[in-house]
Amino acid sequence: MAPLGNPKVWIRYSVGAVIVTTGLVAASIGGVPGAIIGVLVSTCGAGFLRPVQDDLRRFIEKLESAECRIVLYGLGGSGKTELRRRFLRKGEFVFDGPATATADVEWADIPTGDDPPRNVRVRMFDYSGQQTSQVAGDGSASFFGPPGDRRVHAIFFVVDHFRPIPGSDGKQLSDEELLRRCTAAGSQLVEERVHRNRRYLDEDHLQAVFDRCVNPEYKTPRAVRVLINKKELIEAYLNTEIPPSMTAVDFALCSYSDVIDQVRKACEKYDILDFAVELISARDDDGTKKILDELLKRHFGRVS
């Protein structure tokens, strides 16, 4: 609950104010002894009021916070960094970009609503998918906020079906070559990748991520998404079967039905009402703008 909407905070302020006032009255009418007692009593009362400043600062910060913090969580190579670029509308698609070395926070001001026009500062936490500890452990407290004061507005879980494969020159294979390898291996490579993603988002890992993000007082995160990335590769992969046995959406949902169920249950547990699953492509910038625009509009739109 917001500090100024919390009855306990108001009781504390009232008690503090009554004690301070009593002390001041005593000091003004009781001569020298009254003044001494009054000052002592007022000092005690001031102790109750001391956190007021903190509470007010947090409350004002919250009112003014046109800032949205989003955590990207997913296996190495699933596309977190490419998605971050797309979401923040920065630069072109960087194929074969290096894996993220350390946890990184990047931000951009994204226009939200035109009446009145305003920007929301979106901060995205991205990390090396090899190191879950950067999200689930003790990394980047300044982004997540300390325990008891977490500040994450949304979690985006990212999964895929295609592990980037390095070629003989050390560079990642092109999409065409990657698809050829995956098709030649039957369903084995794709199944292995899905399996690894599922392990990466198993119950324990999910719990650790939610533990690091949930703030029951602010009722955050407000939104959670499961983003199934590399849509255009799924479509091309299914098209190698003639006729394709499934649509890309069915295929993607079927691969991750257990992950989706577990994330949904976690959302229910933490009272997060805005949960959705999206099939997207960072490469084609397909779905990314819509996801962020809708999220910002819904949770950071104008409060009339």
* 80 counts as binding ligand GTP under rule CB under 6 A: yes
Say which entry of ligand GTP, Mg ion, none residue 139 contacts (CB below 5 to 8 A, set by partner kind): none
How far apart are alpha carbons 159 and 167 in whole angstroms? 22
Q: Which is nearer to ligand GTP, 152 or 233 (CB)?
A: 233
Per-residue x/- marks for ligand GTP, 36-75, CB under 6 A?
--------------------------------------x-
* 42 counts as binding Mg ion under rule CB under 5 A: no
276: which strand partners? 225
* 197 counts as binding Mg ion under rule CB under 5 A: no
Inter-CA distances, 289 with 50, 87, 96, Å: 44, 6, 22
Q: Which helix (H) or strand (E) holds 113?
A: strand 104-114
DSSP codes of every residue in 160-211: -S----B-TTSSBPPHHHHHHHHHHTTTHHHHHHHHHHHHHTSHHHHHHHHH
Inter-CA distances, 139 with 27, 110, 127, Å: 51, 26, 10
Rounded to the nearest whole angstrom, what is the least distance from the CB of residue 70 to ligand GTP in the complex?
14
User: Which one of 81, 134, 197, 255 is in contact with Mg ion (CB under 5 A)?
Assistant: 81
User: Which one of 42, 81, 112, 288 is in contact with ligand GTP (CB under 6 A)?
Assistant: 81
Say which entry of Mg ion, ligand GTP, none residue 79 contacts (CB below 5 to 8 A, set by partner kind): ligand GTP
* 134 counts as binding Mg ion under rule CB under 5 A: no
Token digits of residue 158: 């990212």
Inter-CA distances, 250 with 231, 255, 279, Å: 12, 8, 10
Q: Which helix (H) or strand (E) holds 181?
A: helix 175-184
**Residue whose structure tokens are 């890309």:** 248
In this chain, which stretch among 78-86, 107-115, 212-220, 258-266 interacts with Mg ion, using CB under 5 A?
78-86
Structural contact between residues 272 and 222, judged by C-beta atoms closer than 8 angstroms? yes
In this chain, which stretch among 14-22, 142-150, 182-190, 275-283 interacts with ligand GTP, using CB under 6 A?
275-283
* 283 counts as binding ligand GTP under rule CB under 6 A: yes
Residue ranges binding ligand GTP (CB under 6 A): 74, 76-82, 95-97, 99-100, 128-129, 164, 172, 175, 229-230, 233, 281-283
Residue ranges binding Mg ion (CB under 5 A): 81, 100
